[in-house]
Structure 1
């Protein structure tokens, strides 16, 4: 048993280091790709095409990534996807450094990066329960997310600075190096079976119910609808409102984004040790905090107040994320976790364009629209909490972590 515990600790440490290195690329990639395309193509339409194909390819990959990871060797799938990401970015860097690439190159690379991201996401999310003992899963998950959220605060700023002093191709080459280094680190992972014996035993004890229980679908539906409003009335409307009300909108939005990430870091630290009596349902109530920045943008979009609201939202959002992922990995059989994560990501991403369209419609004045979105967000958090509490099959596996 001591040997197995030491192997688990080593496996988690290897995985965490790999994810941190990969996060240097993943959290910088949006800003690097955007400005690399704008600098090389000089045409916003090309950027729109590239980002559109990136989303479509990611959604298509999510449809197959979960079943693939659940049926293939997890370790080698992770290594292959991380190496594929590094190779894709390396090829893009070569094209940029060679100079004067044709416009069709950028949508093609957008599609490739989206494809690899869609295949890689569920794989990295579903592996933790194969590396960590049940009683340590929530704590280790929080440790991992604290590290990744810290990187998400620092790396985009560093990427922006580098883009100002170095060619975009050179910065993209750095993204490739980070992904390839992550792949090499993953080679040190221990072999992972399809599912742990403890999970099999719990599944057998729970009976022959559905592998994805009702509480999962209730939580996914509720969070997906909230993400629709967040995409439209925060991610889209936020920069637009600051452009009209702030003298330095780029700085104000950057500070708000950093504040959200910093709040998530603090949330991970706090809720690593906080245990809810109903960890599948209670944290959903905290998602009502996503209404705060929406309301601030409608009533008084002062940069300092928006940053404070984003920080508070980050703390509450992380409380939900840590508990949701822990409960998912504890309550779903290991051989079905990849599918669960791919479905969760697909539903959330597929509905985001509806949020953009809804926010762009402008059926109400700005303040009215933002306050309506804030109110509906709070209502959806309450509705999702109620739906999960009413999901009786949640009781088949003890909720307390």
Structure 2
């Protein structure tokens, strides 16, 4: 029995999904290319350029650092230009950079500084592309079908996260740095397919706002809504403590539990399979529970499941791996269900002309929390062994969850 007072909207006729499906196909190509590229960069750094561990770490960080810089600016760009054209530019821009790098690599001229410039540039473009994608979803979705549309987008991303590591490894094994050319081709295909999707733009509202007012509009929109504020705070806290816990677990698994890097990679992949299951279940849960209840339960799974990781028994690799696999799977299910519903809340409650800037606020806090969480894990290892240190972010995850549930319970329509 549905406990939400809202009635479930009737399913949209298949033809009304045409524009979304065209956009979805285009973004499936872009998301797959992006995930393969994410794993290909450190593999190229290690296997082809021969960089040392510190330089590989720099390579990985350069994929995310542009997000913190570009996200606030990107939010304004997304809200002020034609989003269809912006996505096209982002896809073709990454394709051009990767194709150029592939040509340089084939001639043995891809140096480490040039490689890092490539990583930084594609990271900056990807941050804008991700914001644009989120802002476009309400413009291509049938009326009343935002939740279903977000579920489909998250499902594609989850599948890409499953196949990304394996595909990156296989392509590098077959073609070396030629993988960059292959990824460029997929981005180009995504750009071509995006031309077939029509965006329901509506009328643009003229504004006389100052630059600073436009820049801070996203933060003011979030501040004005108790639910949006609760989601923002929970997202930042969760990413901080979750990243700290995962970082500490990786150290613990490799140094204390004696797992191989392959085993650890497979365990993390189980979380991606959980994400696929979560994306498939998100819409069904909406028909049975109130949205705030779904988000609370989903965040409970995402926050409590990783707290089983410190319980992994040393000296028993198979039980430890089984426990971690269950934890990562449940974590993947919960986090994806939460993401589907929280993004749907933003799409439904925020005006179209502010979607880019509001999305930028959330992504800034999300990536900022992730970066600080990794640094926090490093600081903890200077004071405690990893197995002991893991309990500290576990306590943080539980405390953040309780704060989130309390915030939802205080909403005017809670119940």
Matched, 1:68 2:77: yes
Q: For structure 1, list consecutive stretches of 5 or more residues without a partner in the other structure.
A: 198-209
Give, in angstroms, the shift of residue 49 of structure 1.
3.5
Q: Residue 28 of structure 2 aligns with which residue? A: 20
Residue 211 (1) aligns with residue 226 (2): no
The one of 286, 310, 313 equivalent to 2:331 is 313
Q: Establish whether residue 158 from structure 1 lines up as the match of residue 167 from structure 2.
A: yes
Q: 1:38 offset after TM fit, Å? A: 2.3
Matched, 1:268 2:263: no
The answer to whether the 8 A contact 1:54-1:114 is kept is: yes
Does the CA contact (< 8 Å) of 2:140 and 2:199 recur in 1? no
Q: Among 131, 135, 145, which residue is 2:140 paired with?
A: 131
- After alignment, is 354-363 or 37-46 more displaced? 37-46
Cα pair 1:46 1:103 within 8 Å, conserved? no
Please tell me whether residue 83 in structure 1 is matched to residue 92 in structure 2: yes
For the pair 1:296 / 2:308, whether they are aligned, the reply is yes
* Aligned residue-pair number: 378
Partner of 1:174: 182
Stretches (4+) displaced over 6 A: 4-7
Aligned runs of 1:243-254 on 2, under 5 Å? Answer: 243-254=254-265
Supply the distance in 2 between the matched residues of 1:242 and 1:151 (Cα, whole angstroms). 25
Structure 2 CA distance for aligned equivalents of residues 246 and 195 of structure 1: 59
Asked if the contact 1:290–1:377 (Cα under 8 Å) also holds between the matched residues in 2, the reply is no
For 2:268 and 2:362, the matched residues in 1 are separated by 23
- Tell me how far apart the structure 1 counterparts of residues 370 and 304 of structure 2 sit (CA, whole Å): 19
Native 8 Å contact 1:230 1:290 kept in 2: no
Conserved 8 A contact 1:47-1:106: no
Which secondary structure state, in structure 1, belongs to the residue aligned with residue 196 of structure 2? Answer: coil
For residues 277 and 65 of structure 2, the distance between their equivalents in structure 1, rounded to whole angstroms, comes to 33
Question: What's the counterpart of residue 349 of structure 2?
Answer: 331
Specify whether residues 9 and 116 from structure 1 end up closer, same or farther in structure 2 by C-alpha distance, changes over 3 A only: same
In the TM superposition, what is the alpha-carbon distance from 1:161 to its structure 2 partner? Answer: 2.2
Is structure 2 residue 388 aligned with structure 1 residue 368?
Answer: yes
Question: Quick check: 1:286–1:381 contact (8 Å CA) kept in 2?
Answer: no
Contact 1:241/1:297 (8 A) holds in 2: no
- TM normalised by structure 2 equals 0.84
Quote the offset at 1:117 in angstroms. 1.2
1:352 aligns with 2:376: no
CA distance in 2, matches of 1:321, 1:140: 13
5+ residue gaps in structure 2?
A: 1-11, 206-219, 314-319
Give the aligned partner of residue 381 of structure 1: 401
Q: Deviations over 1:117-165 (max 9, x none)?
A: 1111110111111111332221122122223212221232122122223
Q: Give 1:111's aligned residue.
A: 120
The Cα shift of 1:281 comes to 5.8
